[in-house]
Amino acid sequence: TAHHPFSPEFLDLCDRLGIVVMNEAFDMWTVAKSPNDYHLFFTDWSSLDARDFVKRDRNHPSVVIWSIGNEIHDTPYPVVAKSIVARLKTIFNTEDPSRPVTMALFRPNTTGDYKNGLADMLDVVGQNYRENELTQAHKDKPTRKIIGTENGKNRSNWLPVRDYAPYAGMFLWTGADYLGEADRAGWPFISNPSGLVDRTDVVKPIGWERASWWSETPVVKIGRRVTEVIDTSELPTMVGVAMPQPKGPGVLNDWTPSDLKPHSEKVEIVTNAAEVELFLNGRSLGKKPRNADDSAIKYDVPFAPGTIRVVAYDGGGKKVAEDELKTAGAPVAVRLVAEQNTLAPTFDDVGYIRAEVVDAKGVRVPDASQKLTVKVDGAGTLAAFDNGDPTDSTVFQSPTRKAWNGRALVMVRATDTAGKIKVTVSGEGLKPATVTLETSAAN
C-alpha cells in the first residue's frame, strides 16, 4: 500500500481476490517531505499508530509483509534512523510475530544503509528501484532476504528479478493510472499515466509486455512502435526527472497509422511462447523465436491496409495463442458491450458498459475523438462517464465527453430492484447504440 494505511475495505477485496499486499505504515518519519505532513506528529504518535495499524490489519490473509516506511529521509542520520527502526520493528514483531518487517530503502548506497547496519535490522531488506544494487547487497551478504518494494515497469527492472533467484519479487509503480501526482507531467494532465492499465482498465501495450514476462497462460500481442522510450530508472533522481522523453505514445496496439500510403512500420511482438509467425493479409512474414532477454520480437513490415496477425507456437510447434489487428476506416457507429447483465441497487453494485467508435466493418477507430453522449433511462442512473484520457478534465458525472483512442466507459447504478436500465450512447455523425440491463434485489 502506497504509502500509508489503506481502508479495511481495500484489504477485504484483496483477501477475496488473492492479491498479495505489502502493508505500509509511514511515508515519512521525523524529516518532512512536505511542510504539513505526518512528520509533525511522528514522534508523539507513531508508536500508538503503528500498534493500532498492526492490530487492525493482522487478520487479513492478503497481508504477507509489513513495511515501516517508504523512502524515509531520516536515513542520512543513522543514529536517529536506527533507533526508530528498532522501536517500530519491536512493535510490529510483538503484535504480529507471524509476518516479516521490511522498509522501502531509498538510495541506500548513498546513505550507507548496507554498511552501517540499518538494512540488516530488517527481517527482509527492501529497496525502491535500482534492482542491481539490491542484487549486489545480497551477493555481499547472502544471509539477507531481499525484495523490491517499489519498481519500474521496464525490462531493465525486470531482468534482475527474473535472473536472480534470491530476489523475492517486486511491487510495480504503478499497476493502474491514478488520480494523483499529475503535477509530475504538468497541465493539462489530471492523473498520473504510469499504469499498466488506464483509468478505465484498458490494458496498455506495456501491460501486455509485462503479461508476457510473468503470465502462466500463453500471451501474444502485436504492437506498432511509434516512438522510442528512454529508460531513466538507473539514473540519479533529478537527472531522470529532467531527462526529456521523445514525444509520442511509444507503442500502439493498432494497424491504422496516420499515413496509409506505402511505408515501413516497426512491428513488435510480445509473447511468452517459444516462437511466433507474423502474417500480413494472409502472407507469412516469417517465424522468429522468443528472445532470451524477454525483449520484443521485431519485424520491419512494409505497410499495407488490411489485417496483420501473429500466431504463437510452443516448443513443439503447436499453436497456443494468436492476435490480430485490422486497419480501420471512417467512424460510422458506436458499439456497446456491457460487462454485467444484472444490477442491484446497492452501494457496491456498479454496471460497466464499454463504448467503442467503430467503422462500417466493426473495427475500432483508434484515433476517433468524437463527443459521445450517454442517456440512461428506466431503473438506473449514470454514476460516471470516463475515457481514460489523462488530460481530459471533463467531470466524471458529465453525460458528454470525447472518445479517447476510440473508447469510453459508462458506469451506471440501479435505482430499483425490479425493472430495466436502458443505456444509449450517441455521437457526432455516429449511429447510436443501446444496451439493456436487468435490475434485481441484492444477493
Strand partners, 351: 412
Q: How many residues can be counted in the chain? A: 443
Q: What grid cell was written down for 426?
A: 450517441
Listed residue (303, 243, 249, 297) closest to 275, CA to CA: 297
Q: What grid cell was written down for 294?
A: 524477454
Contact at 8 Å (CB) between 245 and 230?
A: yes
Q: What pLDDT does residue 228 have?
A: 80
Annotate 138-166 with b (16+ C-beta within 10 A) or e (fewer).
beeeeebebbbbbbbbbbebbbbbeebee
Listed residue (340, 346, 339) closest to 443, CA to CA: 346
Query: Which domains, from first to last, does the chain contain?
Result: 8-173 (3.20.20.80), 214-326 (2.60.40.10), 333-439 (2.60.40.10)
**119 secondary structure, DSSP code:** G
Neighbours of 11 (CB within 10 A): 22
Please report the DSSP string for 232-277 in residue order: -TTS-HHHHHHSPPPSS-SEES-S--S--SS-EEEEEEEESSSEEE
Q: What pLDDT does residue 180 have?
A: 87
Contact at 8 Å (CB) between 22 and 64?
A: yes
Annotate 30-48 with b (16+ C-beta within 10 A) or e (fewer).
bbeeeeeebbeebeeebee
Q: Are strands 400-402 and 371-378 parallel, antiparallel or unpaired?
A: antiparallel
Three-state DSSP class for residue 385: strand
Displacement of CA 204 from its chain's centroid (Å): 9
C-alpha 399/C-alpha 383 separation (Å) is: 10
Q: What pLDDT does residue 423 have?
A: 98
Q: What pLDDT does residue 347 have?
A: 87
Report which residue type is found at 335. R
Burial class (CB in 10 A: 0-12, 13-18, 19+), 9: exposed
C-alpha 337/C-alpha 353 separation (Å) is: 6
Q: Which residues, including other chains, have CB under 8 Å from residue 298's CB and lie 6 or more apart?
A: 225, 266, 267, 268, 269
Q: What pLDDT does residue 185 have?
A: 77
Q: What pLDDT does residue 231 have?
A: 63
C-alpha 319/C-alpha 327 separation (Å) is: 24
**152 secondary structure, DSSP code:** -
Q: What pLDDT does residue 245 have?
A: 57
Residue by residue, pLDDT tens for the chain (443 residues) are: 889 999 999 999 999 999 999 999 999 999 999 999 999 999 999 999 999 999 999 999 999 999 999 999 999 999 999 999 999 999 999 999 999 999 999 999 999 999 999 999 999 999 999 999 999 999 999 999 999 999 999 999 999 999 999 999 999 999 999 998 887 778 899 999 989 999 999 999 999 999 999 999 999 999 999 988 766 655 665 565 555 555 567 899 999 999 999 999 999 999 999 999 999 999 999 999 999 999 999 999 999 999 999 999 999 999 999 999 999 999 999 999 999 999 999 988 999 999 999 999 999 999 999 999 999 999 999 999 999 999 999 999 999 999 999 999 999 999 999 999 999 999 999 999 999 999 999 76
Q: What pLDDT does residue 243 have?
A: 56
C-alpha 410/C-alpha 377 separation (Å) is: 13
Q: What pLDDT does residue 99 have?
A: 98
